[in-house]
Structure 1
Amino acid sequence: MSAQNTGTPRTNEHGQPIGPALPGWTPRPRPAADQLRGRYCTLERLDVERHADDLYATYSAAPDDSDWTYLPVGPFGSREQYRDWARRQAQNDDPWHYAVVDASTGRAVGTLALMRQDPSNGAVEVGWVVFSRAMQRTPLSTEAHFLLMRYVFDELGYRRYEWKCDSLNAPSRRAAERLGFTYEGTFRQAVVYQGRNRDTTWLSVLDRDWPQAKKGFEAWLAPENFDADGNQRSALRTR
C-alpha cells in the first residue's frame, strides 16, 4: 500500500503537516518462501548439504580475494570453515539466506539474503550478496535480484526494499542503481568491520517504483533480448 506524495502535505487539527494516510495498513509477513523459481536460476533456502560445497568451490575458483573486500566475513581458508559459517547462517530467520542455483547446471553459484526485516513498517533489506565470478555480469545475477524483489513486493506486500553498502564500494552502488535503487544518503562512521571504518551508503526501491522496474526486468530477462552468444540486445531500464 503506497503512500503517494501529492505535493501539498496534509495537515492535522493543529495545522501541522503530516504524512499521507495509509488506510487499512497491516504488518506484512516475514519472508518464508523456500524456493523462488526463474528462467535462468532458482533461489533456494540455503542448505549446507545441498549448497555449501558448490559455493565454496565456485568462490575458491576466483583468481583473487577481491570479492570479499567489502564483506564482514571471508575469504574462507577451507571447505570446512565455509560449511561451518553457512550452517550457522542457514539456521537464521533474519537474515533469511538463499542460494542462487544455476538452472543450466543445478549448482549453487552465489547467495543473497533478506535481512533487517521490519514487518510492522513494511521494510526489508537485501544483503549478504556474494555472487561468484561464474554468475557476475550474467542474466543469473539480474534475475536473482528480480526474483527476490518480486517476492518482497508482489507476494509479501512490503513498501520499502533497501540496499546498503560501503560508501567506497563503487561497483555495489552502480549495481544497485542499475537495478532501480535510488540513492538516499550516507551514514558516516556507521559500521566497524574488518578492523576499519565504514561509511554506509543507503539506497532503496519503494513500492511505487516497483511497477516500472518490474516491466524493465521482464523485458530485459526475456529470451529475445539475448543473441545467440548470450549478449544483451537492450540494456536494463528500471526507471
Structure 2
Amino acid sequence: MISTTAVPPVRSTTLPGRHVRLEPLAHSHVPDLFQAVAGDEDVWRWVSALMPRTEDELHAVIGARLDNPELVPFAVIQLATGRCVGVTCYANISARDESLEIGGTFYGRAVWRTAVNTEAKLLLMTHAFEDLGMGRVQWCADRRNERSRNAILRLGATYEGTFRRHRRRPDGTWRDTMQFAMLRDEWPAAKERLEARLSRG
C-alpha cells in the first residue's frame, strides 16, 4: 500500500507576501471583490460562472466555491489597499499522487499586469512544493484564453497537451483545455526567476 502520510491535509491558510496576502476566502470578502470585478465582462469571460450583476449573485458564486469539497479557495488581498482584488484556488488535490492544480483564478482589471498574480502564484507554489510536499503542480486554461496561457508559461510551467471538447462553458459552448505543469525538481529555478522578477517591480 502506498503511504500518503508525507503529504499533510491541504487547507486554506494565510500566506503573506510583499504585495499580496492570501487568506481563506469568506463571504466577508464579497463587498471588496464586487467593487473590483463588477460589470467587467473581460474578467468573467473565462471563469466557470456567469458574470454576477449584484453582490447577492457574487455571494452565490463565492458560496459555490466554499461549498465545493474539491476546492481550497483563497482571497487575494492587495496589501497597498488592504482590499480583496481576486480569488484563486487549489483543486484536484491528490495526496497519493503528490499533486494539485492551481486554478479558479480571477482578478479585478486594476491589478492586471501588476505583481499581484505573480506573487499570488509564487505563494501558492511555495506552499505546495515546500510546505505540502507536492511533486507536481498543474494549471489548465481554455485554449482561447491567450492571456491566461501566457501567464502560466511565464511562471515556468511546461505545456503538456490539450484535452479537446473537455468542459462546457457557462454559455453552453465547449472548450478545449490546455494543460500545463511544473515538477518538484523544476521548482527551484522557477522560484529564483519569479523572485527576481518581483524584486525588479
TM bin (shorter chain): over 0.9
Amino acid at match of 1:59: V
Structure 1, unaligned runs of 5 or more: 1-22, 227-239
Q: Deviations over 1:27-74 (max 9, x none)?
A: 52232242000010100110112x1110011101x6x40221222202
Distance in 2, Cα, partners of 1:25 & 1:32: 16
- 1:26 shift after superposition: 5.0
The corresponding residue for 1:31 is 10
Quote the offset at 1:83 in angstroms: 1.2
CA distance in 1, matches of 2:13, 2:68: 13
Number of the residue aligned with 1:214: 191
Q: Does 1:125 align with 2:104?
A: no
Cα deviation for residue 192 of structure 1 reads 1.6
Pairwise CA RMSD of aligned residues?
1.7
Return the alpha-carbon distance in structure 2 between the equivalents of residues 135 and 118 of structure 1: 31
**Matches of 1:205 and 1:84, distance apart in 2:** 32
Q: What amino acid sits opposite 2:78 in the alignment?
A: D
* Greater fraction of residues in helix: 2
* Percent of paired sites with the same residue: 33
What is residue 57 of structure 1 aligned with on the other side? 35
Paired residues, number: 199
State the one-letter code of the partner of 1:108: C
The answer to whether structure 1 residue 72 and structure 2 residue 51 are counterparts is: no
Identify which of 153, 173, 180 aligns with 2:149.
173
Considering only CA atoms, is the larger Rg found in Structure 1 or Structure 2?
1
In the alignment, the residues of structure 2 paired with residue 66 and residue 186 of structure 1 have an alpha-carbon distance, to the nearest angstrom, of 23
**1:152-191, Cα deviation, whole Å (9 max, x unpaired):** 0010010110100111111111110001110001111111
Runs of 4+ with deviation above 3 angstroms? 23-27
Q: Gaps (5+ residues) in structure 2?
A: none
1:189 aligns with 2:168: no
The alpha-carbon distance between structure 1 residues 185 and 33, as it changes in their structure 2 partners (threshold 3 A), is same
How far does residue 201 in structure 1 lie from its aligned partner after superposition?
Answer: 0.3
- Whole-angstrom CA distance in 1 between matches of 2:182 and 2:56: 37
Normalising by structure 1, we get a TM-score of: 0.79
